[in-house]
Chains A and B, each alone.
Chain A
């Protein structure tokens, strides 16, 4: 006989749950209550994908990211490609030209060498495409059952060109909000091959390096106020973070946000909001209203951002930290952070 549970105290977890890593409210709470208070300093206050460090007359962007994706190989990419492009994109989001990467592997005992070789080859190719050098690294092995095949952490350094200042705090009322392509591809591609959930889908991950795209904007004379890749938590989380850091309200038009019909269909099937689905090759970009059409022309001239679109504005007198979406029928609704990992619903 199992003992009955009668305690009426609401559930407050005292351990880490998967939802703490989902890019949503729980993760923000974990960062704010445990992690940031321990490390907070002047430089982390920018709450940006990379920190920009002044060294002599240069400014260096620095970032790090861990990759634990399961499965390791998915349509349109793999954990290795993701680990290179993801870190490159975090540097790109600070307006930096990515230069050097470190790579740290945690390998699980029993991982087939052929899989490791495949990942490493993919990293080499990705580094070549993104024009970064992998200059240092580390390898550790853990007991079977204590890792999910392999985990990769990459850190990156990049140079921020003179005059470039890309960060959330520069977002201003009246700014135009651009998205550099159709959203939701990465999350749908990964879910389509996840164990126990496999469904047929033609969707491939959008995994791609975006530093050249940001530099094309800069080179085209655009003053990029802010750029951020819409990874975990999707476009919704990125817009909410920026609205919160810049203390502005962002309004976007549902019909203006590009979504491929296959991605829309998969989200409908799984009960996911495409705004919450992860991307690995898309950015939200904030520029002055007067720069918007030139920026859009530059983006649409590049293969990686050919489906770029103007999706909204920073409201002139908004509620700080809010993001609202005008639906295609007219009414506005709030956009919220996902609670945790996006889960398929039951009906």
Chain B
């Protein structure tokens, strides 16, 4: 894969680090929005290369992390039903609900299957007409268009035993929440490149204008990240605040028009609870009434008990940039990926999980 080598060259990265060091004159806090970016930063040690004036804050862009416990509980309850096949991306199987996770449902007899695409789940529903097939539709604007397509396709083919349990979240309202915080620490954002590949950059113009904050649409490779940071530092140093596109090889200002049209057709914007952040207005997608027949929430109604994260868990403060993962007293002790207390330790792309995986300094002992 040619892109891997081109965007991981050590010399190019060092040249950008040097340029950042020359450009920055005061302390700045930059938030990378997407969990994939956080993961790459910690994995490659990008933050350790940066001058001490720059602090990277890890944003809320991990959809697995922010899926609220009650939706996991709903998934667990559906997956345990007889004559039901519950399909999910692999990441979600480990996420604990209030009592158990999907892996545990699978181990005790539930038919839980890992799929790589919603269309695979739809094909499964066609092959198994006597059973209900439910797909766990999780993710940001990145995965939502493919899930919308699966619904349109299910309607076209008349597959009545297929439905979606929708937990989709949108990025801009979360950034608005962070920006609206009177104590906010974030001076600039690296916006999530893949989300912008779908939605374009127009959604950010109003945010940038209102809050006067640099917004750099950034990719996921080491060179992308240091370029994005350099662009952000240059804006901050010159007092500018605009939407800039570092990830131009993928992102157009208008996004992917076909994908956006499918999103509009199938989903409507709703208020959604985020694990660690609480309810954010208009921050979720839900199926439109016209597609109610494919809505698993309707097909399998459940009285949802709202479940809060344990008070000991500081994931809300991590997701909003007020704390870093290893500032938490429970980090790596009472909270680990095997027994997570909350959102950011749950998924491999959560900030706490990334720190746990790559930054723990204590020894392992077998005996």
Interface of A with B (CB < 8 Å)? 1-11, 13, 15-19, 25-26, 28-29, 32, 47, 196-197, 240-241, 243-245, 249, 261, 264-265, 268, 271, 319-322, 327-334, 336, 339-340, 343-347
Q: Are B113 and A196 in contact (CB under 8 A)?
A: yes
Q: Are A322 and B364 in contact (CB under 8 A)?
A: yes
- Residue B26 lies at the interface, judged by CB distance under 8 Å to chain A: no
Q: Are A15 and B108 in contact (CB under 8 A)?
A: yes
Q: Are B142 and A347 in contact (CB under 8 A)?
A: yes
Can you name 30 A-B pairs with beta carbons within 8 Å?
Answer: A1-B301, A2-B302, A3-B303, A5-B99, A7-B98, A8-B98, A8-B307, A10-B96, A11-B100, A17-B103, A18-B103, A196-B113, A196-B116, A245-B366, A264-B1, A265-B4, A321-B365, A327-B44, A329-B49, A331-B48, A333-B42, A336-B357, A339-B337, A343-B93, A343-B94, A343-B114, A344-B89, A344-B91, A345-B91, A346-B90
Interfacial chain A residues near B13, Cβ < 8 Å = 329
Q: Known A265-B4, A321-B366; judge A345-B89 contact (CB<8 A).
A: yes
Q: Are B14 and A319 in contact (CB under 8 A)?
A: no
Q: Are B48 and A5 in contact (CB under 8 A)?
A: no
Q: Are B363 and A322 in contact (CB under 8 A)?
A: yes
The 9 closest A-B pairs by CB, nearest first: A331-B45, A343-B90, A321-B364, A265-B1, A346-B89, A319-B363, A333-B358, A331-B48, A244-B366
Q: Are B99 and A11 in contact (CB under 8 A)?
A: yes
Q: Are A334 and B357 in contact (CB under 8 A)?
A: yes
Interface of B with A (CB < 8 Å)? 1, 4, 8, 10, 13-14, 36, 42-46, 48-49, 63-64, 73, 76-78, 81, 89-94, 96-101, 103-104, 106-108, 113-116, 120, 138-140, 142-143, 194, 222, 300-305, 307, 310, 337-339, 347-349, 356-366
Interfacial chain A residues near B44, Cβ < 8 Å = 327-329, 331
Known contacts A7-B99, A11-B99, A334-B360, then 8 further A-B pairs from the complex at CB < 8 Å, ordered by chain A residue: A3-B303, A6-B98, A197-B116, A321-B363, A331-B44, A333-B358, A343-B91, A347-B142
Measured between alpha carbons, how far is A77 from B73 in the docked complex, in Å? Answer: 41
Measured between alpha carbons, how far is A276 from B341 in the docked complex, in Å? Answer: 25
Q: Known A11-B101, A18-B106; judge A345-B349 contact (CB<8 A).
A: yes
Q: Known A17-B103, A18-B106, A245-B366; judge A346-B77 contact (CB<8 A).
A: no
- The main secondary structure of chain A at its interface with chain B is loop
Interfacial chain A residues near B114, Cβ < 8 Å = 196-197, 343-344
Measured between alpha carbons, how far is A319 from B349 in the docked complex, in Å? Answer: 27
- Which of B337, B339, B356 is close to A10, meaning CB atoms less than 8 Å apart? B339
Q: Are A347 and B63 in contact (CB under 8 A)?
A: yes
- Which of A4, A29, A241, A339 is close to B305, meaning CB atoms less than 8 Å apart? A4
Q: Are B107 and A344 in contact (CB under 8 A)?
A: no
In the complex, what's the smallest C-beta–C-beta distance from A279 to chain B, in angstroms?
21
Q: Are B10 and A328 in contact (CB under 8 A)?
A: yes
Interfacial chain B residues near A29, Cβ < 8 Å = 338
Measured between alpha carbons, how far is A182 from B26 in the docked complex, in Å? Answer: 45
Measured between alpha carbons, how far is A334 from B76 in the docked complex, in Å? Answer: 33
Measured between alpha carbons, how far is A320 from B364 in the docked complex, in Å? Answer: 7
Q: Known A6-B305, A319-B362, A332-B45; judge A346-B357 contact (CB<8 A).
A: no
- Which of A7, A17, A197, A347 is close to B36, meaning CB atoms less than 8 Å apart? A347
